[in-house]
Amino acid sequence: MWILGLCLGQAFPAPPTTVKIGFIDVQRILETSEKGKEFRDKIFQLRKDKEKILSAKQEEIIKARQDYQQKALTLSDRARLDREQELRQKELEFQTLSESYKQEVLLEGRKLQALMLKDLSDIVRQIGQAEGYTIIVEKDATLYATDSIDLTEKVIQQYNAMSRKGGSSGEKK
């Protein structure tokens, strides 16, 4: 039949190829991989350091306010206005610093996550090519998938192995 089709100039469609689909759970990788834990610890430590600084600044403001309240009745009108202005300025600086630190922690988190996602993308691509996957998607992008096509553990194992070798896309040890 196929030869007859060639003789008649008709092209038959190619036989269907096998479609192989897999998925990964990026959130689980972030939570359980060695590098994910390391990055989470870095962000936690950065946040803790910033909170310590903010706590000290806040304590300064509280002490300054208490000092002002104790001395307010003995101060001249001009001195009282100056101290109130100083306190407002310190509170404004505290709020600005607090927002700045929040942004710094957020940006560092995004930077580390981008490094991880780059590494994961490389690993997923390698697995996909080596094992003949047609497509590998993120678990959150699917409505249903059987666990038999979950490649998360394989990705975590390869990511951990890569991390132990020191082979990350941008993070230096």
**Domains identified in the chain, total number:** 1
The confidence score (pLDDT) of residue 172 equals: 45
Whether residue 171 lies inside any domain: the answer is no
What are the two backbone dihedrals, phi and then psi, of residue 138, each rounded to the nearest 5 degrees?
A: -80, 140
Residue 101 CA to residue 99 CA, distance in Å, equals 5
Q: Please count the other Cβ atoms lying within 10 Å of the Cβ belonging to residue 33.
A: 23
The confidence score (pLDDT) of residue 18 equals: 85
Name the β-bridge partners of 135.
21
The confidence score (pLDDT) of residue 72 equals: 85
Whether residue 147 lies inside any domain: the answer is yes
Domain limits for position 88: 11-165
Whether residue 80 lies inside any domain: the answer is yes
CATH number of the domain bearing residue 37 = 3.30.910.20
Whether residue 33 lies inside any domain: the answer is yes
The confidence score (pLDDT) of residue 151 equals: 94
Whether residue 42 lies inside any domain: the answer is yes
Residue 170 CA to residue 150 CA, distance in Å, equals 27
User: Are the C-beta atoms of 110 and 159 separated by less than 8 Å?
Assistant: no
Query: Which residue's entry shows tokens 């090519």?
Result: 129
Global pTM reads: 0.71
Whether residue 172 lies inside any domain: the answer is no
Whether residue 2 lies inside any domain: the answer is no
Whether residue 1 lies inside any domain: the answer is no
Mean pLDDT, the chain cut into blocks of 10 residues (173 residues total)? 45 66 93 93 96 96 93 90 95 97 96 93 95 93 90 94 74 44
Residue 95 CA to residue 158 CA, distance in Å, equals 43
